[in-house]
Amino acid sequence: MIETAKALPPTGGFFFINVRINNLIFEFKITFGLYRSILFLVSLLLFTCKKDLSSDLSIVNQSVKNPKYAQGFALIQHDEYQILEIKNTFPESKKIYRYALVSKEKATSITLNREDFNSILLTPLESVVVTSTTHIPALELLGVETRLKGFPGTDYISSSRTRARIEQGEIRELGTNEGLNTEVLIEINPDVVVGFSVNGGNKSYETISKSGIPVIYNGDWLEGSPLAKAEWIKFFGILFNKESKADSIFNEIESAYLEASKIAKGVDQKPTVMSGAMYKDVWYLPGGSSPEAHFLKDANVNYLWKDTPGKGSLSLSFETVYNKAKDAEIWISPSNFQSKEALLNSNQHYAEFQPFKSGKIYSFSNVTGKTGGTLYYELGISRPDLVLKDIIKICHPFLLQDYQTTFFKPLD
* pLDDT at residue 56, rounded to an integer: 36
| DSSP annotation of 346 | H
* pLDDT at residue 204, rounded to an integer: 85
Q: Which CATH architecture has domain 267-410?
A: 3-Layer(aba) Sandwich (3.40)
**Please, which pLDDT band fits residue 328 given cuts at 50, 70 and 90?**
very high
Alpha carbons 282 and 285: distance in angstroms, whole number: 10
What radius of gyration, in Å, describes the C-alpha atoms of the chain?
Answer: 30
pLDDT higher than 60, residue 370: yes
Q: What mean pLDDT do residues 222-239 have?
A: 97
- Coil, strand or helix: which one is 78? strand
* pLDDT at residue 309, rounded to an integer: 87
Mean pLDDT (the chain, rounded): 87
pLDDT higher than 60, residue 12: no
In our burial notation (b when 16+ CB lie closer than 10 A, e otherwise), range 205-228 reads bebbeeeebbbbbbbbebbbbbbb
Alpha carbons 106 and 240: distance in angstroms, whole number: 16
Cα within 13 Å of Cα(42), Cβ side: 7
* pLDDT at residue 128, rounded to an integer: 98
* pLDDT at residue 134, rounded to an integer: 96
Report which of 327, 328, 351 is spatially closest to residue 341, judged by C-alpha positions.
351
Q: Return the higher-pLDDT residue of 62 and 246.
A: 246
* pLDDT at residue 63, rounded to an integer: 82
**Please, which pLDDT band fits residue 39 given cuts at 50, 70 and 90?**
very low
pLDDT higher than 80, residue 9: no
Distances in Å between the Cα of 126 and the Cα atoms of 71, 75, 129 are: 27, 20, 11
User: Tens of pLDDT along 299-322?
Assistant: 999 999 999 988 889 999 999 999
Residue 7 Cα to chain centre, angstroms: 60
Alpha carbons 40 and 43: distance in angstroms, whole number: 5
Q: What mean pLDDT do residues 134-153 have?
A: 97
pLDDT higher than 80, residue 1: no
Q: What mean pLDDT do residues 16-27 have?
A: 49
Q: What mean pLDDT do residues 112-136 have?
A: 94
**Which helix (H) or strand (E) element contains residue 48?**
helix 32-60
Distances in Å between the Cα of 315 and the Cα atoms of 148, 311, 355 are: 38, 13, 21
Alpha carbons 235 and 269: distance in angstroms, whole number: 39
pLDDT higher than 60, residue 40: no
User: Tens of pLDDT along 68-119?
Assistant: 999 999 999 998 899 999 998 888 888 899 999 999 988 888 889 889 999 9
Distances in Å between the Cα of 8 and the Cα atoms of 30, 39, 109, 365 are: 11, 14, 46, 87
Report which of 220, 298, 193 is spatially closest to residue 256, judged by C-alpha positions.
298
Alpha carbons 247 and 365: distance in angstroms, whole number: 31
Q: Can you give the length of the chain in residues?
A: 412
Neighbours of 54 (CB within 10 A): 9
Instruction: Specify whether the CB–CB gap between 336 and 365 falls below 8 A.
Output: yes
Cis bond leading into 124, ω under 30°?
yes
In our burial notation (b when 16+ CB lie closer than 10 A, e otherwise), range 108-118 reads eeeeeeeeebb
- Single-letter amino acid, residue 373: G
The whole-model pTM stands at: 0.83
- Coil, strand or helix: which one is 280? coil
Instruction: Specify whether the CB–CB gap between 73 and 87 falls below 8 A.
Output: yes
CATH topology assigned to domain 62-253: Rossmann fold (3.40.50)
* pLDDT at residue 319, rounded to an integer: 97
First to last CA, the chain: 90
Check for a shared fold between 62-253 and 267-410: yes
pLDDT higher than 80, residue 34: no
* pLDDT at residue 26, rounded to an integer: 46
**Which helix (H) or strand (E) element contains residue 137?**
helix 136-142
Looking at the chain, the whole-number percentage of residues with pLDDT higher than 90 is: 72
pLDDT higher than 60, residue 216: yes
* pLDDT at residue 90, rounded to an integer: 83
User: Tens of pLDDT along 158-211?
Assistant: 999 999 999 999 999 999 887 899 999 999 999 999 998 777 677 888 889 999
Instruction: Specify whether the CB–CB gap between 257 and 385 falls below 8 A.
Output: yes
Alpha carbons 290 and 13: distance in angstroms, whole number: 77
DSSP string, 203-268: HHHHHHHHTT--EEE--GGG-SSHHHHHTTHHHHHHHTT-HHHHHHHHHHHHHHHHHHHHHHHT--
* pLDDT at residue 15, rounded to an integer: 47
* pLDDT at residue 23, rounded to an integer: 47
Per domain, the residue ranges of the chain are: 2-60, 62-253, 267-410
Q: What mean pLDDT do residues 26-35 have?
A: 50
- Low-confidence winner among 17-31, 96-110, 145-159, 336-350 (lowest mean pLDDT): 17-31
